[in-house]
Amino acid sequence: MSIADKDLQRYRFLLMYDDERVMDVAVALREQQGQDWWKLVIDLEEGGYAISDVSQLTVYLNEHGGDLLEQPLASLVGPVFQKTDAVLEREATTVEEAREAAFDSDAQVAVILDDEEVVGVLPVGTRSGSPFDASLVNLAGQYAELPAEGLVSKRRLARKKKKKK
């Protein structure tokens, strides 16, 4: 009983922390040559995860304007991101069980962990897109100059330091 790599590789995702900003998402998406159909997984400081498609964040940014770029992702749980209770260990579940758990979740996506690290997502449906279809990056760039590098949240830096030890 386990979820195979091939099952996880079908669905792309971007892991962010709730203290990071919308601007950081745009920078990370640009750096990874991401696409708007990718899932955004937000690691919540109080525990758990919230999820959305990048495209939903793009729509929200378009509706609310450039000031949203400075918003921490935590403030968008509810309007853009849905919490999921479908958080499963890869080795202890099957694809079918993960999809069933995702179906029962508000987010309609299961977060798959391996040793408490996010290694994939399994949504209820399927989705694909063209290479580097990142309208979030383009839209954010219309509102502000994107920094050369992003992703400097305290939680991300602390996690990197912890991994090096």
Which CATH number is 112's domain given?
3.10.580.10
- C-alpha 74/C-alpha 127 separation (Å) is 25
Cα torsion 55, 20, 68, 87: sign: positive
Domain assignment of residue 11, yes or no: yes
Domain assignment of residue 101, yes or no: yes
Domain assignment of residue 22, yes or no: yes
Q: What band does 147 get if pLDDT is binned at 50, 70 and 90?
A: low
Do the beta carbons of residue 83 and residue 106 sit within 8 Å?
A: yes
| Cβ neighbour number for residue 165 with a 10 Å cutoff | 4
The DSSP result for the chain, as a single string, is ----HHHHHTS-EEEEETTSBHHHHHHHHHHTT--TTSEEEEE-TTSSEEEEEHHHHHHHHHHH-GGGGGSBGGGGBTTTBEEE--EEEGGG--HHHHHHHHHHSTTSEEEEEETTEEEEEEESS-----TT--HHHHHHHHHSPPPSS----HHHHHHHHHHH-
- Which residues constitute the domain of residue 25? 5-124+131-159
Residue 62 has pLDDT above 70, yes or no: yes
For all residues of the chain together, what is the average pLDDT?
Answer: 85
Q: Is 117 exposed, middle or buried (0-12, 13-18, 19+ CB in 10 A)?
A: exposed
- pLDDT, position 122: 94
For the segment 88-117, what is each residue's pLDDT rounded down to a tens digit?
A: 999 999 999 999 999 999 899 999 999 999
For the segment 14-58, what is each residue's pLDDT rounded down to a tens digit?
A: 999 999 999 999 889 888 888 888 999 999 999 999 999 998 999
Domain assignment of residue 164, yes or no: no
Domain assignment of residue 87, yes or no: yes
Domain assignment of residue 85, yes or no: yes
- C-alpha 98/C-alpha 36 separation (Å) is 23
Count structural domains, the chain: 1
Comparing CA positions, the residue from 86, 78, 73, 74 lying closest to residue 123 is 86
Domain assignment of residue 165, yes or no: no
Do the beta carbons of residue 132 and residue 20 sit within 8 Å?
A: no
Average pLDDT over residues 122-150: 62
Domain assignment of residue 25, yes or no: yes
